């Protein structure tokens, strides 16, 4: 359960949703680096469930303890280990899940694989709660990237069929991203917020759930960052995004839509602008051959609708091997897309930091 | 330029398009394993350029030499190293590329990063030719997976806007995949072949290029294969797919489209069928929480239109920093999607073999 | 600060001597494995300082908290994270060390490398205290090895010039090792205990310190365990042993002494005994070409005398760059060799468990 | 069969003694680096069998082909693959070895493990011939280290009981090492050459073999190079040394002998000399806590006597499970210690280069 490119960064996420807590151990941050713990708190705050009408009722204050690696606010060069104790656990809610996998959840393959080791309550270590330590790790990486002029931000590209305005792949700015990555409901077109929130509310009442797409952008990358082939920027980012619970698709630049373009349209031709090479378009999404092109890095991440819904669904009891029905009564978000923005940004920061460290650029 | 999950399989792809040749070193195949070299040849044959009206005119016989690891046709437990010498190289074709990056290609970031080390002729180690050793590696892995009842096959899901019939995510069979993975132009609906080939031909004449989507399916995986989080099946497959030249998107199951479904629709409910747990749908694409569900594994890979086109495109000369134009005169495929099927299958085989070996299942 | 063969086991040791505590995160233990926590406690007990006349006065109860990965006493398949909070810290003792490296300690290179990140008190993460989490990890691995009939044990081969009776490399038994690995002062010839302890006591009074050699043996390994070359059993064990504070040498079988033998004497000739192949001698120490021979695995680990001594020693103040003297007043063992036995055994268990898991034998 | 610290350098050694050839693939050398191929040739020359009266009669010209990664003499950033075809193979010599393991060789565990995959002729991939690609890899690394002022050299510390003069651990110079690392029979005290060579000659006539110790020194390392704990300089070097065929022991500084010193004697006290911190002794061998101290790095590597001897030895036939005798008739060195110097230096260079690259110092 580690992010380990076999290089600079080594991150192990541990713990589980209904155990003692969740945490992570990371290596690769040089000694003597100052870390602003407030930034970590802010990042965790964005990931937390929001107002109860559009989010889960579970309350976690997500206060973390730094067990190792940071003294005061300075890294000492040893692994950084951070732990968040679980507090608001209502295990009773999950009593009926012991042998009945929730449709759409990791329950079924996990029950087969881990047997008694799998804690059906809240999905054990498959829980979305595991993204809290990921956000901590990402916040640390992002702080260090920011000092190099790199900015990461994302917005809710869509919830169900309601679409935000897409990023402009050429003119996307650091300023735009910096504003977005502070927001709890990040949108390019703020006008969509009401409509989206109302949809979420109504779907919640309807005991159903929603999916959506996060679009993430990065500015400030010089051309040529990345390693070719299996360790390309897109491979790294792709791998980590698919490790976020609920992600079913990742695309860069024109992505799937671009498969219907011809080369003459999709290719980003080059120009000189103020003495620098620029592309007139950015269908590549800022990455070619696994290397950054110097244009904004742009990718979209597809989140399926949340699996846990209050409606009756057909399932089976794996012990009796009889068909049955289930209603997932736990406190769940009807739509995790708004909260996912912080997770996507964190995961992206880890990849970029690892690559820059690996290349000796940081 | 290695695939290295830090586990069983270690694959290094080496060489370049216009150097001495291309090859690979792989570790992780147990000693005493018989390898059918004919299967490797067949896989390479499928990857090769096809009839010249729809493909590049470059002729490579792709005959390979096994430098290490296989005696007769039995592995000896040491690393398997295979080398394919380049033959039909016309470097003259690329003379005008020295400092003028081809739009849509890795040229620009690679020239910035590798400077003189980058061989602009044919894209050096960013060339699609690097997928030949990948196909060899995949063919070896696939042979061993087949012996365990696992079948991998893919088809041309779309070329530009022409769509093949999609795989049925529930009823997809081993037989269907076994037929497809032998074909040079694999389609579920053979009726689309003529239309697609004519499109390719006309686009070739038009000095333009096409993209498309490969849909890949796998049957025979037991539920619970995979490692959670960063090493999930989808993370592994995602990472390797993005390392294939031209890939801009990867999605599993209902993927991007599924973000517009509600949970009640997207969730795959369970039933008992002939004493076994089955899902009635397969929107998950056979993977949940990084683990196989036992349903067919299903993913789609988006290939952008080929970057090299004979049309005039705007670019810059990186030495003079002046704007200029380029026409890519080399012999190129107008559409690599048909050939890509073999590469996608090979890359998938490497991931699955690695995971099964890692879990001690093989 | 990880043990990571890039394979099954991944161990990160974190924390520091004078910080919040020390701990470790390990991956690679299958879900559903029962772990006897009493065995961990016993192993920690052996590593702990002993009666104060021959050991440090520092009292650590070494009670650990399992933050992740074990529920009750069953592993759940997620990373196992264990934390030991530091208690008996007297930082005052180290006040004079801020810029004056202790001779023989990691202080000097660590102060140069980590600057302010380095906590001179107790050697930060270079402290011998970091072996406590290693012992926990080893105890878990050893439990699982024992179930496969593998026994690891060690004895105090020598303290200064007082030598215990060496292991018989051919007739060494499981029974002998099982007894030794429970003892706090493990010796083949118990008659040496008094002499050794008196030496330690007198050296302690003399404000000096002692080194010595641990000899470790393993029975129950089938022939052929190991990976050739860089991942051979001896390479793995060698690497981990040199990571134990104070270790300056490792040798297998006849080791350094064997360099003075001729091939005709050093080679272990083979015989058939009760239907099995046996070697008549075991100068190889049970490993040839990185692979186990089926004879007892035998190696010796050289511990230099403890660096911290109460005597005045010459050193420099790195801030003023002036020469000065130092007396290390902290509570230190005059000889860590007896306690080191448990650490050597633990480190050996981790290596063997990793290899067996990697080879799918466990 | 890779050296893979999970970091910058990735080296896979492939091939076998009696197959098509031996080779290696390495990653981690930056693009645009000039490599002096003559230096590689010189290093291989030193590793080669020498005058036939003291060495094996096998003639290998060891001419290598660079398959990938170097154009002209400049690296292109892709993996460097080098292949040496085997030429002078007399398989007939090994005919009687099919099921009869040679005592002291990896034969027995390798036959058990690899079964038919194991090529008993010359030891397959356990052969000393596998060190030829290691020497190539080391020569490349060493060239780049030399440019940073680092010098590696070694001498024959002992053959059987004949001892050369040991390195002075404090005053060892770059000049002394530079001279030694060009020599074919490197000695501090040239007066010992005749005696040693005569011993080798007489032992060869006697159909027996000799072992010995290589002492290796490194100058030019700044204090603080290395990673703590499992990736310390001594752990890295230890692991790689044990992967060299025939190595049974590794020690740093005062090593095994130092276990009989007291702390007051073994500790290296510090002084200021010409404005820099120096240690007055170097019992640490230049490494403390896994980090370089800035004093010369010093270690000794124990080589057992060569296993292949022409004398009759007892062994067993693994097929018939009957006892038998064997005389190893192949062409073998009676003492590989002189040739081993180049291998030890190469292996050391790989470790140091990897660490310096990892730390971004190179």
Residues 6+ apart with CB under 8 A from C282: C169, C170, C253, C268, C293, C295, C296, C298
pLDDT above 50 (res C1) = no
In this prediction, residue D203 carries a pLDDT of 96
Burial class (CB in 10 A: 0-12, 13-18, 19+), B1: buried
Nearest alpha carbon to residue A117 among B228, C358, B297, C362: B228
Lowest-confidence range among A93-102, C29-38, C318-327, D45-54?
A93-102
Q: How far is D8 from chain A (nearest CA, A)?
A: 7
* pLDDT tens column, B3-40: 656 577 888 999 988 889 999 999 889 888 999 999 99
Which subunits have 3 or more CB–CB pairs within 8 Å of chain D?
A: A, B, C
Q: What is the mean pLDDT of each run of 10 residues along chain D (362 residues)?
A: 65 90 92 93 89 66 90 91 84 66 94 83 82 95 96 98 98 98 96 97 96 98 91 94 96 98 97 94 97 98 96 95 89 90 97 91 86
Contact B78 C7 (CB under 8 A): no
Confidence of residue B137 (pLDDT cuts 50, 70, 90): very high
pTM: 0.94
CB-CB contact of D307 with D177 (8 Å): no
CB contact under 8 A, C23 and A118: no
- Residues β-bridged to residue A81: A25, A68
Mutate to test the interface with A, among B233, B264, B295, B360 (most CBs of A within 10 A): B264
pLDDT class of B360 with cuts at 50, 70, 90:
confident
Report the SS3 class of residue A175.
helix
Looking at the complex, does the CB of residue C248 fall below 8 Å from at least one CB of chain D? yes
Q: Which residues contact C141 (CB under 8 A, 6 or more apart)?
A: C9, C346, C349, C350, C352, C353, C354
Contact (CB, 8 A) for A214 and A301: yes
Of the candidates A104, A229, A269, which has its C-beta nearest B267's C-beta? A104
Q: In Å, how far are B75, C103, C143 from B26, measured between CA atoms?
A: 12, 47, 34
Q: What's the Cα-to-Cα distance from B337 to each of A287, B61, B142, B154, B307, rounded to whole Å?
A: 20, 20, 21, 11, 13
Ordered by where they begin, the domains of chain D are: 2-358 (3.60.150.10)
- Nearest C-alpha neighbor of D67 from the set D56, D55, D58, D76: D76
Structure tokens at D166: 């040991």
Q: Report the chain C residue with the minimal C-alpha distance to residue B356.
A: C360
**Phi and psi at residue A218, in whole multiples of 5°?**
-135, 130
End-to-end Cα spacing for chain C: 26
B266, closest residue in chain A (CA to CA): A305
Q: What does the DSSP 8-state code read for residue B328?
A: -
Strand B162-163 with B212-219, pairing: unpaired
Instruction: With beta carbons less than 8 A apart as the criterion, state whether D236 and D351 touch.
Output: yes
B4 interaction partners in chain C (CB closer than 8 Å): 6
pLDDT digits (tens, 9 = 90+) for C118-164: 877 667 888 889 999 999 999 999 999 999 999 999 999 999 999 99
Number of Cβ atoms within 10 Å of the Cβ of C361: 12
Neighbouring-strand partners of residue D158? D163, D213
Residue D291: left if φ>0, alpha if ψ -120 to 50, beta else—which one? Answer: beta
Partners of chain B (3+ Cβ pairs below 8 A)? A, C, D
Cβ contact A12–C15 (<8 Å): no
CA dist., res. C115 & res. C99, Å (int)? 10
**Residue A56: its pLDDT value, please?**
67
Residue B78 sits at the chain C interface (C-beta within 8 Å) = yes
- The CB density around residue C149, as the number of other CB atoms within 10 Å, is 11
Q: What is the pLDDT of residue C341?
A: 97
Indicate the pLDDT class of residue C362, thresholds 50, 70 and 90. confident
Round to whole Å and give the CA distance between C184 and A105: 50
Residue with tokens 């694989």: A113
Mean pLDDT of the region B321-344: 91
Instruction: Tell me how close the Cα of B16 comes to any Cα of chain D, in angstroms.
Output: 7
- Collapsing DSSP states into helix, strand and coil, what is residue A154? strand
Q: Distance (Å, rounded) from C-alpha D362 to C-alpha D360?
A: 6
Q: Model confidence over B219-275: pLDDT tens digits?
A: 999 999 998 888 899 999 999 999 999 999 999 999 999 999 999 999 999 999 999
Q: Which two tokens stand for residue A129?
A: 């709660």
**With contacts defined as CB-CB under 8 Å, which chain A residues touch D77?**
228
Q: C25 is written with which tokens?
A: 């995160």
Q: Which of the pair, C276 or B231, is modelled with greater confidence?
A: C276
H/E stretch holding B12 reads strand B10-15
Percent of chain C with pLDDT over 90: 75
User: Cβ of A31 and C117 within 8 Å?
Assistant: yes
> Residue A89: what pLDDT?
62
For residue A232, what are its two tokens? 């390309």
CA-to-CA separations, D233 to A217, D224, D285, in angstroms, rounded: 40, 10, 11
Per-residue pLDDT, averaged over B68-89, amounts to 90
A222/A217 Cα distance (integer angstroms): 14
B214 in Cβ contact with B340 (< 8 Å): yes
d(CA A300, CA A164): 13
Asked if A32 reaches chain D (Cβ–Cβ under 8 Å), the answer is no
Average pLDDT in the B195-209 region?
96
How would you write the pLDDT of chain A (362 residues) with one tens digit per residue?
Answer: 456 665 778 889 999 888 899 999 998 898 889 999 999 999 999 998 776 677 766 666 679 999 999 988 999 888 999 999 998 666 555 556 678 999 999 999 999 998 877 877 667 888 889 999 999 999 999 999 999 999 999 999 999 999 999 999 999 999 999 999 999 999 999 999 999 999 999 999 999 999 999 999 999 999 999 988 788 999 999 999 999 999 999 999 999 999 999 999 999 999 999 999 999 999 999 999 999 999 999 999 999 999 999 999 999 999 999 999 999 876 678 999 999 999 999 999 999 999 999 888 88
Q: DSSP letters of A43-80? A: HHHHHS--STTTS--------EEEEESEETTEE-SSPE
Are C250 and C301 in contact by the 8 Å Cβ rule? The answer is: yes
Residue range B147-183, pLDDT digits in tens? 999 999 999 999 999 999 999 999 999 999 999 999 9
State the Rg of chain B over Cα: 21
Q: Cα-flanking dihedrals φ and ψ of residue A315, to 5°?
A: -150, -170
How far from chain centre, in Å, is Cα C236? 14
Nearest alpha-carbon partner for C28 in A2, D232, A15, B239: A2
| SS3 state at C333 | coil
**Confidence bin at B1 (pLDDT 50/70/90):** very low
| Integer Cα distance of A13 and A24 in angstroms | 4
Which pLDDT score, from 0 to 100, does residue A4 have?
60
Pairwise CB contact (< 8 Å): A68 & C19: yes
3-state secondary structure string across chain D? CEEECCCCCEEEEEECCCCCEEEEEEECCCCCCECCHHHHHHHHHHHCCCCCCCCCCCCCCCCEEEEECEECCEECCCCEEEEEECCCCCHHHHHHHCCCCCCCCCHHHHHHHHHHHCCCHHHHHHCHHHHHHHHHHHHHHHHHHHCCCCEEEEEEEEECCEECCCCCCCCCCHHHHHHHCCCCCCCCCHHHHHHHHHHHHHHHHCCCCECEEEEEEEECCCCCCCCCHHHCHHHHHHHHHHCCCCEEEEEECCCCHHHHCEHHHHCCCEEEECCEEEECCCCCCCEECCEECCCCEEEEEEECCCCCCCCCEEEEECCCCEEEEECCCCCCCCCCHHHHHHHHHHHHHHHHHHHHHHCCCC
pLDDT tens-digit series, residues C61-71: 679 999 999 98
Residues 6+ away with beta carbon under 8 Å from B99: B111, B317, B318, B319, B320
Q: Is the sign of the CA dihedral C68, C71, C77, C80 positive or negative?
A: positive
Who among A264, A266, A305 is closest to B304 (CB)?
A: A266
| A159: nearest Cα among A8, A279, A351, A338 | A338
């Amino acid at each position: 359960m580690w992010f380990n490119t076999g290089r600079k960064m080594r991150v192990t996420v541990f713990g589980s949703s209904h155990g003692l807590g969740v945490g992570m151990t990371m290596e690769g941050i040089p000694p003597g680096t100052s870390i602003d713990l407030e930034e970590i708190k802010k990042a965790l705050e964005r990931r937390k469930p929001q107002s109860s009408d559009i989010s889960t009722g579970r309350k976690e204050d997500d206060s973390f303890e730094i067990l190792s690696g940071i003294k005061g606010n300075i890294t000492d060069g040893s692994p950084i280990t951070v732990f968040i104790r679980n507090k608001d656990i209502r295990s009773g809610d999950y009593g009926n899940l012991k042998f009945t996998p929730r449709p759409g959840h990791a329950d079924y393959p996990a029950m087969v694989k881990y047997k008694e080791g799998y804690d059906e309550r809240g999905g054990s270590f498959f829980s979305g709660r595991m993204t809290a330590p990921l956000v901590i790790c990402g916040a640390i990486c992002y702080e260090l990237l920011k000092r190099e002029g790199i900015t990461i931000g994302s917005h809710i590209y869509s919830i169900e069929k309601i679409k935000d305005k897409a990023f402009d792949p050429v003119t996307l700015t650091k300023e735009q991203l910096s504003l977005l990555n502070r927001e709890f409901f990040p949108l390019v077109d703020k006008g969509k917020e009401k409509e989206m929130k109302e949809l979420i509310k109504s779907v919640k009442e309807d005991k159903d759930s929603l999916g959506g797409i996060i679009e993430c952008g990065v500015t400030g990358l010089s051309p040529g960052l990345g390693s070719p082939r299996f360790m390309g920027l897109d491979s790294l980012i792709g791998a980590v995004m698919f490790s976020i619970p609920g992600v079913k698709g990742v695309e860069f630049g024109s992505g799937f839509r671009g498969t219907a373009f011809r080369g003459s349209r999709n290719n980003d031709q080059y120009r000189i602008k103020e003495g620098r090479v620029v592309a007139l378009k950015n269908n590549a999404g800022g990455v070619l051959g696994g290397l950054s092109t110097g244009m904004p890095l742009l990718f979209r991440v597809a989140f399926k609708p949340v699996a846990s819904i209050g409606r009756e669904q057909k399932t089976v009891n794996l012990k009796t091997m009889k068909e049955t029905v289930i209603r997932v009564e736990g406190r769940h978000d009807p739509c995790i897309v708004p909260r996912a923005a912080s997770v996507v940004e964190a995961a992206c920061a880890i990849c970029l930091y690892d690559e820059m460290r690996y290349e000796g650029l940081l």
